[in-house]
């Protein structure tokens, strides 16, 4: 996935997670998100995932790798 101009990192990350889910059937790791969205550090990824979680777009299980789950907000669930 090609990153956007950086103005809305949460949306860029959300689109990446949606596309990754659709392709692989499971969520990406934090490092995969960092690389795929061309983000400078894992802390930036983590902070933006927190924003997406607060908005209700995703849910996560703390301390569990690949635990990002897309929520039904706006129909944002990957198709199988």
pLDDT grade for 62, boundaries at 50, 70 and 90: confident
Stretch 70-77: mean pLDDT: 61
Whole-number percent of the chain with pLDDT over 90: 72
Tell me: the pLDDT tens digits for 33-55?
999 999 999 999 999 999 999 99
Walk me through the domains of the chain, giving residue ranges and CATH numbers: 9-74 (1.10.10.10)
Instruction: Provide the pLDDT for residue 63.
Output: 87
Q: Compute the distance between CA of residue 41 and CA of residue 46 in angstroms, rounded to an integer.
A: 9
Instruction: Provide the pLDDT for residue 60.
Output: 94
Alpha helix positions (H), the chain: 9-24, 30-36, 42-55
Predicted model pTM: 0.80
Instruction: Provide the pLDDT for residue 15.
Output: 96
């Amino acid at each position: 996935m090609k990153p956007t101009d950086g103005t809305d990192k949460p949306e860029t990350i959300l689109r990446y997670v949606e596309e990754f889910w659709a392709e692989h059937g499971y969520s990406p790791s934090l490092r995969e998100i960092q690389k795929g969205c061309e983000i400078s550090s894992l802390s930036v990824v983590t902070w933006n995932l927190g924003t997406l979680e607060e908005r209700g777009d995703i849910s996560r299980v703390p301390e569990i790798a690949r635990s990002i789950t897309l929520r039904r907000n706006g129909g944002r669930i990957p198709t199988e």
